Amino acid sequence: MDRWLNNMYVVRVIALVLGLLLWAVVHMDTTKTTTTSTAPLYGAEDISKVSIETVGLDKNHYHLVSISPSTVTVRISGKTSSLNLVNTTNFQVLLDLSNVTEGAQIVPLKLEKLKDFPEDVSAEVLPSSVTVKVEKNLKKEMPVTIDLGGSPAEGLVAGTPIINPSRVHVTVPESRQNDIQFVRGKVPVDGAKSAVVTQVKLAAYNADGKEVPASISPSIVDVEVPITSPFKRIPLQIKLTGELPEGYSIAAFHQSAGQVTVYGPQKELDAMQFYTGPQIDLTNMKSDKTFVLDIPLKGKVTQVDPNQMTVELTIVPSARKKLDQVGILISGENNQYATKVTNPANGKIDLILEGAPATIEKMGAEDVQAFVDVSNLPIGKYELPLMLNLPPYVRKAPNQDLKVSVEISERPNPVPSARQTSGNEAQPATAQQTNGNQAQSSAAQQPHGNLSGQTSE
């Protein structure tokens, strides 16, 4: 080997071969570089199904019904290396609706380049405009309804919600104005022990209870739901006790509260038909009088609203009037017996009544119910007190001994038991039955009546 390497010709041949190999390597790299540099430096691409952003629509007056087409294509062109940097986060396709009117119209599109959009890339929107359909909005005022969810703590009830504001404006496209039937919100009161105060977001609903898209102003309202004991609104009765001095009568009675709201256990409220308020003693009263009275709590009642009231009494000198031939009714007659009034023989009586002049002047025999009660009496003859059912604040004048003679005997042909009176009906002296269930005994009556409008002597 050393001999070959020491030969000058051999060395020259090896050098030539190495030179040729080096030339080949350099030539191949130059060819590759040339080939790469011939690739295109610029190009174009389409980005399809780009959404359209709307701006400028006056939503108080108009509603956008449709956009056609609903998406567009964005064509970008520029350096190939820059095109790879573009995506839908670098730009927006805008539709300016600030000048649209009601109906269908063609509106141009605008492409807005955003941050990081390459400066050397151009873009265009295809198509450059779209057809939009716009509908006019209508505004109407509607009441707000609050629905309560759940139940308060045991023994408590939720009252009527207090809503502020109680009415709102609803803006809806003209074609859907009849779809909006209710504006509602919901307040949960489950387990509440005190008033629930909150803000409620409202929604619009159709007649089927389905939510309907609409603009509501204001869309949020303040609501307070009272949480209280069970309550009931019932008439308030004021009892008059004692007697006015002789020669005086009540001409007018006025109480500031005719009804009260009573709070307490539900069982106790269910048994109440009216609420007994304070009493007023008429003794020694000869002139007009105004009372400011507290309404007391009774039994298990926890609250009465209002808790105070004003009563005004007008007192005037009495007047008297004679009523002739007032028919006498029979109450509580047994249909198995024949009952008749024997004295007075004609079954009618003359009465002298006393009261305020304006009241007495208008009275006639038809305003008085006179009757005797024969309930549970066997066959025989009786002298019974005459009882009177009179208008409020009218009484029997003194020094009248009103007694009636009655005879009860066997009836030849007894009336079937199905038609028997209950003991609360009145039978006139002619044997025709009439209703006497409101009549009261003169021995038990209040001399000046009560607020129910019934009084008797």
pLDDT per residue, tens digit, the chain (457 aa), is 556 556 666 667 777 777 777 767 666 554 444 444 445 688 888 999 999 999 999 888 888 989 999 999 999 998 888 888 888 888 999 999 999 988 999 999 999 888 888 888 889 999 999 999 999 888 889 999 999 999 999 888 898 999 999 999 998 888 888 889 999 999 999 999 899 999 999 999 999 999 998 889 999 999 999 998 898 999 999 999 998 999 999 999 999 999 999 998 888 899 999 999 999 999 999 999 999 999 999 988 989 999 999 999 999 999 999 999 999 999 998 888 999 999 999 999 999 999 999 999 999 999 999 999 999 999 999 999 999 999 999 999 988 889 999 999 988 776 555 444 444 444 444 333 333 333 333 333 333 333 333 333 3
Q: Which CATH architecture has domain 42-127?
A: Beta Complex (2.170)
Please list the helix, strand and coil fractions of the chain in percent, rounded to the nearest 5, in that order: 15, 50, 35
Contact 434, 347 (CB under 8 A): no
Contact 62, 136 (CB under 8 A): yes
Q: What one-character DSSP code corresponds to residue 450? A: B
The residues, ordered by sequence, that sit 6+ positions from 246 with a Cβ below 8 Å of its Cβ are 398
Helix intervals (H) in 131-278: 266-270
Q: Which CATH architecture has domain 231-317?
A: Beta Complex (2.170)
- Candidates 225, 202, 226; CA nearest to 212 is 202
Quote the tokens at residue 50: 């780009």
Cis peptide before 344 (omega within 30 of 0): yes
How far does Cα 280 stand from its chain's mean position?
Answer: 39
Rounded CA gap, 275 and 410, in Å? 46
The residues, ordered by sequence, that sit 6+ positions from 353 with a Cβ below 8 Å of its Cβ are 320, 321, 322, 323, 360, 363, 368, 390, 394, 395, 396, 397
Domain residue ranges in the chain: 2-37, 42-127, 141-226, 231-317, 321-456
Quote the tokens at residue 278: 């304070």
How far does Cα 449 stand from its chain's mean position?
Answer: 40
Quote the tokens at residue 294: 């507290």
CATH number among 3.40.50.1360, 2.170.120.30, 3.40.50.880, 2.60.120.260, domain 321-456? 2.170.120.30
Hey, do 42-127 and 141-226 end up sharing a CATH topology, with the first three levels equal? yes
Q: What local confidence, expressed as pLDDT, does residue 37 receive? A: 47
CATH of domain 141-226: 2.170.120.40
- Candidates 273, 266, 276; CA nearest to 300 is 266
Q: What local confidence, expressed as pLDDT, does residue 418 receive? A: 44
Longest dimension (CA), the chain: 182
The residues, ordered by sequence, that sit 6+ positions from 435 with a Cβ below 8 Å of its Cβ are 425, 426
DSSP string, 280-291: EE-TT--S-EEE
Identify the three-state secondary structure at position 26.
Answer: helix
Locate the DSSP E strands across 35-102. 42-55, 62-68, 71-79, 91-96
